Amino acid sequence: MEIEGAVALVTGGANGLGLAIAKHLHARGARIAVLDRDESALALLPPDFDRQAIDVTDPALVGRAVATVMARLGQIDVLVNNAGVISSEPFVNVLRPAELMHNYDRFRRAIVDNLDSVFIVTAAVVEQMVLSRSPGVVVNISSISANGNEGQTAYSAAKAGVNALTVTWAKELGRWGIRCNAVAPGFIETDSTRQALSDETIKHVTSKTPLRRLGEADEVAQAVCAVVQNDFLNGVILDVDGGLTL
């Protein structure tokens, strides 16, 4: 799909990785719509970005938001499911004997934020693509944690689910000219990474990465553009991790 002139909807696009993706698509000529719950960050977006403050885990709100984007911009050609929250918690924490096992409510919250949101937004957008008989591209932002990352039970489960959705939808939606792929970043230099991981952990990860550094948000954005533009990529989980998972 040609990016120039396309309408791209980016969830969680007001900050960090999502903002880098939105700006990169915009620089390639796309019209951008952003859904994010951070109202203060939304206010700082470029003036020609369409924006809505919304919780993408609420199906009713998402349905109305997608309808609003369609009314304002006329179509949605590209969906980037970026919204999510890094969740780190050991399954067994011997340092917290009063709450030894992983908290179930926090597990559920991580699943809702990182997996349910992808289902909810994609269902609303794909419905519009199918009804309007328009081809489209869905790009899910996954993670190499989908392979199973120690200390990230909930996050790993959610991202593994995102990969499964990606492959399933690639098989189902191709008949309507809708492709679905995922980009799975490794450890990227963002505020959320710094907040979720200690300096010691980041140093360890860097030492295990063949390129000996964290990735840059723009490098993930470039990967998103690549899977949007290549019309024969479908059902691909593209790792962008500096070789960490080799």
Confirm whether 246 is domain-assigned.
no
Question: Measured over all CA atoms, what is the biggest interatomic distance in the chain, rounded to whole angstroms?
Answer: 56
What pTM did the predictor assign?
0.96
- Is 188 part of any domain? yes
Q: Which of 49, 107, 155, 187 is catalytic?
A: 155
Residue 129 located in a structural domain: yes
Answer for the pair 183, 205: CB distance below 8 angstroms, yes or no. Answer: no
CA gap 112, 29 in Å, rounded? 32
Name the residue among 56, 239, 11 with its Cα closest to residue 146. 239
pLDDT tens sequence across 32-83: 999 999 999 999 999 999 999 999 999 999 999 999 999 999 999 999 999 9
The mean pLDDT of the chain is: 96
By residue range, what is the domain housing residue 217? 7-239
Number of domains composing the chain: 1
Calpha distance 171→108 (Å, rounded) = 28
Tell me whether residue 1 is in a domain: no
**Residues 105, 110, 116, 120, Cα dihedral to 10°:** 110
Residue 244 maps to a domain: no
Q: Cα 167 from chain centroid?
A: 15
Strands 136-141 and 178-185: parallel
So what's the pLDDT on residue 197?
79
Examine residue 90 and state whether it is found in any structural domain, yes or no. yes
The yes-or-no verdict on residue 89 having pLDDT over 80 is yes
The pLDDT value recorded for residue 232 is 98
* Assigned domain for 191 exists: yes
Amino acid at 214: L
pLDDT 10s digits, 115-142: 999 999 999 999 999 999 999 999 999 9
190-205: average pLDDT: 86
**Catalytic site residue 155?**
yes
CATH assignment of the domain containing 235: 3.40.50.720
25 part of a folded domain: yes
What are the backbone dihedrals phi and psi of residue 92, each rounded to the nearest 5 degrees, phi first? -125, 125
